[in-house]
Amino acid sequence: MIREFLFGLVIVCLMSGVAHSEDKPRIGVTLHPYYSFVTAVVGDTAEVVPLIGEGFNPHNYRPQPEDIKRCMTLDVLVVNGIGHDEFAFESVEAANMKGKLPLIFANKDVSLIPVSGHLDGKKVVNPHTFVSVTASVRQVYTIAKGLGQLFPENAKLYRKNARAYAKKLRRMKAEYMERIVDLPSMDFRCATIHGGYDYLFQDFGLQVTAVIEPGHGLKPTASQLAKTIDEIKRLGVDVIFTEMAFPDQYVETIHDETGIHIRHLSHLTSGEYTVDGFEKGLRANLEALTSALIDAQSVKQGG
């Protein structure tokens, strides 16, 4: 039924016609970080086109008629490809573009890790590679290389822009590393509401002790919440990082029952598509993480 429905949408899209600029290639992206990455790489040599609109959760998104129509206008599509944008492959197939539309898998050269600290013990690949500076830089280079192969006349420029953008991201990371470089070694334990931050913590040599959310987008039941609170206490967690969109009542309950400080992180896949959106979100995450480390050290020292 779904396949037939999507095929019908394609027919509607074909009948409505497709506007496609011949001047610049249209490079599609599936997630907000890739909008920033690709724009930084291509400059004004191409048009960067989000495959889906703003305000949608990519984890449970299903293709809409306008997405399928948009897919038919693209010259190439940059994808996460490891579980964060399955809607893209549905759109490509529904648009009859499978095997015709070049795909650049941004994570092709990234060393993948599982979601760590899940309270249910499940091991799944973490697709949120873009929360990490190290993994993001690798993706920027992969994207630049792929686009350079497709548009060789701009390959040199793409390599140059990728190096400049990577340098900017690395400098940002170094700025925050300097804040904590003199902190003595400590057993820092944290819990996260959402299992999307392992790559960010890996950048700082840290691990997530526990992931609270039972599944992405799923809110814990009363019994799950009680179990979570007991486990957090048992593990001796220093700080809890909550996702921006997670309901306040759950976070407040956990805080009230444990007394543990709450900080906010973002997995950078919401809001407007902007050129500097990734850098702003990354900086906010780095600020939250390093501040948590400094505060935790102060508490342990009795400060």
pLDDT digits (tens, 9 = 90+) for 213-230: 655 556 677 888 888 888
* pLDDT greater than 80 at residue 19: no
Confirm if 269 and 31 have CB atoms less than 8 A apart. Answer: yes
* Cα(279)–Cα(37) distance, integer angstroms: 10
Structure tokens at 268: 């950078």
Higher pLDDT, 121 or 30: 30
* Protein fold of 2-170: Rossmann fold (3.40.50)
* pLDDT greater than 70 at residue 140: yes
The pLDDT value given to residue 119: 52
73-127 pLDDT, tens digit per residue, is 999 999 999 989 999 999 999 999 999 999 999 999 999 998 765 555 566 789 9
CA angle, residues 43, 45, 50, in degrees to nearest 5 = 70
The pLDDT value given to residue 229: 87
The pLDDT value given to residue 56: 83
The pLDDT value given to residue 221: 79
Task: Note the helical H segments in 20-73.
Answer: 32-42, 65-71
The structure's pTM equals 0.87
* pLDDT greater than 70 at residue 7: no
Whole-number mean pLDDT of the chain?
A: 87
Lowest mean pLDDT among 18-22, 72-76, 135-139, 186-190: 18-22
Does residue 68 sit in helix, strand or coil?
helix
The pLDDT value given to residue 141: 98
For the chain, the helix, strand and coil percentages under 3-state DSSP, each to the nearest 5: 50, 10, 40
The pLDDT confidence band at residue 244, using thresholds 50, 70 and 90, is low
Instruction: Provide CATH code, domain 182-300.
Output: 3.40.50.1980
DSSP 152: G
What stretch(es) of the chain map to CATH 3.40.50.1980?
Answer: 2-170, 182-300
Structure tokens at 119: 């309270």
The pLDDT confidence band at residue 42, using thresholds 50, 70 and 90, is very high
Structure tokens at 71: 């897919």
The distance between the two most distant Cα atoms of the chain, rounded to a whole number of Å, is 70
The pLDDT value given to residue 247: 61
Mean pLDDT of 146-165: 98
The pLDDT value given to residue 6: 46
